[in-house]
Amino acid sequence: MDTSQGNPMMDDSITPQPTKDGGPRIDCRNIKVFYGQAEAIHDVSMSFPDRAVTALIGPSGCGKSTFLRCLNRMNDTIENCRVEGKILMDGEDINDADVDPVLLRSRVGMVFQKPNPFPKSIYDNIAYGPRIHGLANGREDLDAIVEKSLRRAGLWEEVKDRLSAPGTGLSGGQQQRLCIARAIAVQPEVILMDEPCSALDPIATARIEELIDELRNRYCIVIVTHSMQQAARVSQRTAFFHLGNLVEMGDTGQIFTNPREKRTEDYITGRFG
């Protein structure tokens, strides 16, 4: 899959700097989320290490997606939704008034459940972000970013001869990798994935999982998944949410072989909670 090895095109110019002193990329403190009066997330504190995959698992409605959306202020776009607490990214509170949410979302990219390429060419899907953020100096530079991003997303070989074809014409798995390439193109530090494989077949899923494994050498990745096997396969840390609470967080191996909390045990083994 990895076509980047030893490839001069894959210099690290679009790789984020590691965090200072190797600390967490994102540090969340006492996060509460309200929809109107209803509190959906109850005082959750957790941090996300750099260059590692953290999986958020839990039953539907447990708040894991709501929590994920806090990390790039996607909840701002939902009326009635209010977030309390501090989310520090490289020491800076992302909810500060002077933080531009658009800029933040380029640093914290997101991939959704259903692949959502723009109704544009494959090339323009990738080039759009770098253009509006002014990351490219001219066409040549832009071409290089498009190629690097597609290579890094493991899609280049499959699409290099039809870059002007519409992104929506690709298969589901290819579309999802296109969306990952699009997120990478704007030089994010963090990639959020909200059930990125639930609409894909097992082979396309395996490709995405392989890609996630490669990407974790460069990014802080947070993935929400309903598949515990997927969480077990791709992540190094796993957090279990239940009814808006963070029940338990730990090394993935420990969570799936020997969880400390009974609610985690009941959930991962498929028992009534």
Partner 1 sequence: MSDHIVSAYSEELERLSADLLKMGGIVETMITGACRALVSNDLDLAKEVVLRDPLVDTIEADAERQIVSLIARRQPMGHDLRMILSAMKISSELERIGDLSKNIAKRAQRLDENVNVEMRNAITRMAQPVSRQLKDVLNAYATGSADKAKAVWSADDDIDLHYNAVFREMLTHLVEDPRRITAGAHMLFMAKNLERIGDHCTNIAEFVYYQAVGDYLSELERPKQNQF
Task: Summarize as ranges the residues that interact with partner 1 (CB under 8 A).
Answer: 228-229, 232, 256-259, 264-266, 268-272
In terms of CB distance, is 45 or 254 closer to partner 1? 254
The residue type of 137 is N
Q: Which of 23, 61 has the CB closer to partner 1?
A: 61
The answer to whether 56 and 257 are in contact (CB under 8 A) is no
Smallest gap from residue 197 Cβ to partner 1 (A)? 16
Provide the 3-class DSSP secondary structure of residue 24.
Answer: strand
Name the minimum Å distance from CB 209 to partner 1: 15
Contacts of 132 (CB under 8 A, 6+ apart): none
Structure tokens at 271: 């028992």
Give the number of other Cβ atoms within 10 Å of residue 157's Cβ: 11
Asked if residue 247 lies in contact with residue 260, where contact means CB atoms within 8 angstroms, the answer is: no
Between 114 and 271, name the residue whose CB sits nearer to partner 1.
Answer: 271
Q: For residues 24 and 259, which CB has a smaller minimum distance to partner 1 in the complex?
A: 259
Residue 33 backbone zone (phi > 0: left; psi -120 to 50: alpha; other: beta): beta
Report in angstroms how near the CB of residue 169 gets to partner 1 at its nearest: 35
Distance CA 262, CA 135 (A): 49
| Residue whose CB is less far from partner 1, 33 or 228 | 228
Provide the minimum distance between the beta carbon of 44 and partner 1 in the complex, in angstroms, as a whole number. 23
Helix 138-152 × helix 172-185 angle, to 10°: 130
Beta bridge partners, 121, equal: 166
94 or 232: CB nearest partner 1: 232
Q: How far is the CB of 256 from partner 1 (least distance, A)?
A: 5
Tell me the C-alpha distance between 95 and 100, whole Å: 9
Task: Report d(CA 239, CA 248) in Å as an integer.
Answer: 6
178 vs 234, which CB is nearer to partner 1?
234
String of DSSP letters for 25-54: EEEEEEEEEEETTEEEEEEEEEEEETTSEE
Task: Work out how close the CB of 228 gets to partner 1 at its nearest, in angstroms, rounded to a whole number.
Answer: 6
Q: Rounded to the nearest whole angstrom, what is the least distance from the CB of residue 63 to partner 1 in the complex? A: 21
